Amino acid sequence: METKLEKEVRFLKVYAVVATLLCAVFVLTAFTMQSRKQKLEELDVERINIVEKDGQVKLVISNKERLPGPGNIVTGTLGTRQGLKTPGMLFYNEKGDECGGLIFGSREQDGKYAAATALLFDKYNGDQVMGMRVEDVGGGRRTVGLNIWDQPDVSPEEQHKNYDEAAKLKDGPERDALRQQAVAHQRVFIGRTSDKQARIALSDANGRPRIRLTVEQNGEAKLEFLDVSGKVTQTLPTPSGATNK
C-alpha cells in the first residue's frame, strides 16, 4: 500500500509533466501565431524594416528621426542627409546600397515655410539619375518637375579626387572633363518653374542649359538656343525687331 508521501510525490510528478506539456503547447502556439498573417486595425511604429528570409534589409519605412543616412545599410557605412530632415521610404539592392526612395517633409518658422517631396531612382553604385520633385518655399515659388541627371561612372573616392583636381584648373575643356567625373549634372528638366513657367530644358554634360522650350504664364511660347556661357544665340519665333544670326 502506498504511503501518503509516495502519493504526494506521484502527484507532483504528474503535475510537472502536465505543466511542461501545457507550456510547450503555449510556446508553439505563440510561434505559430507569429508566423501567420495578422490583421490589425491600427499600428503606431517609428520604423519598419522589410527583410528577406536571410535578414537582409530591402525596404525601410521610417519617421524622420530614424530614417537611415545615404550609403550601405548592411555594412553600416551611412552618411548624413543634407537639407530637410524627412520621413520616407528607402529601397536597397543586393549589396545593401540605397537604390531609390520616396521622401517628404516641411518646415515652418516665423511665418515662412519650406516643403519638399521627391521620388528618386539611383544608378547602381551611385546617386540618383532620375526623379520627380516638388519644392515649395511659399509665395507661389514652387518648382515641380521630372529631372534626369548624369552621375559620374567612377567610385565615390575617384569623384572626390576629380573634384579637387578640377578646382585647381581654369575654365576649359580639361576642367569640364574632370567635373563630368566628379559631380552630378542635370541633363533634362520637364516641369513648372518657380516663376510659373512651363519649361523643358536640355543641358550639356556639364549641366549648362543649351535648349529651352518655355510657355509663359500669359501663354507666350518660345524656343531658345544657348551657348556655353549661357547666352541666348537664337530664339524662335524671332522677337519683333530682332534678327537671329
Q: What pLDDT score was predicted for residue 132?
A: 97
199 assigned to some structural domain: yes
3: confidence class by pLDDT, cuts 50, 70, 90: low
Give the domain range for residue 194.
139-245
40: confidence class by pLDDT, cuts 50, 70, 90: confident
- Distance in angstroms (rounded) separating the CA atoms of residues 62 and 68: 8
Buried b (16+ CB within 10 A) or exposed e, 139-149: eeeebebebbb
Q: What pLDDT score was predicted for residue 120?
A: 96
106 assigned to some structural domain: no
158 assigned to some structural domain: yes
Q: What is the dihedral of CA 21, 25, 28, 31, to 10 degrees?
A: -130
Helices (H) and strands (E) in the chain, counts: 3, 14
195: confidence class by pLDDT, cuts 50, 70, 90: very high
123 assigned to some structural domain: no
Q: Angle at Cα 19 formed by Cα 17 and Cα 2, nearest 5°?
A: 45
1 assigned to some structural domain: yes
- Distance in angstroms (rounded) separating the CA atoms of residues 237 and 233: 13
**What tens digit of pLDDT does each residue of 157-179 get?**
788 888 898 888 888 888 888 88
> What does the pLDDT average to over 92-103?
94
What letter would DSSP give residue 97?
A: B
Going from the C-alpha of 237 to that of each of 3, 197, 219, the distances in angstroms are: 115, 17, 14
- Distance in angstroms (rounded) separating the CA atoms of residues 77 and 80: 10
List, in order, residues 6 or more apart from 216 with CB less than 8 Å away: 197
6: confidence class by pLDDT, cuts 50, 70, 90: low
- Distance in angstroms (rounded) separating the CA atoms of residues 177 and 181: 7
What letter would DSSP give residue 227?
A: -
The residue among 60 and 155 whose pLDDT is bigger is 60
Across-strand partners of 117?
A: 104, 134
168 assigned to some structural domain: yes
Q: What pLDDT score was predicted for residue 135?
A: 94
122 assigned to some structural domain: no
Q: What pLDDT score was predicted for residue 203?
A: 97
Find where cell 575617384 sits. 158
| Domains identified in the chain, total number | 2
Q: What percent of the chain has pLDDT over 90?
A: 51
202 assigned to some structural domain: yes
Q: What pLDDT score was predicted for residue 111?
A: 86
pLDDT of 31 higher than 70: no
Mean per-residue pLDDT over the chain, rounded: 86
Q: What pLDDT score was predicted for residue 117?
A: 94
> What does the pLDDT average to over 170-190?
90
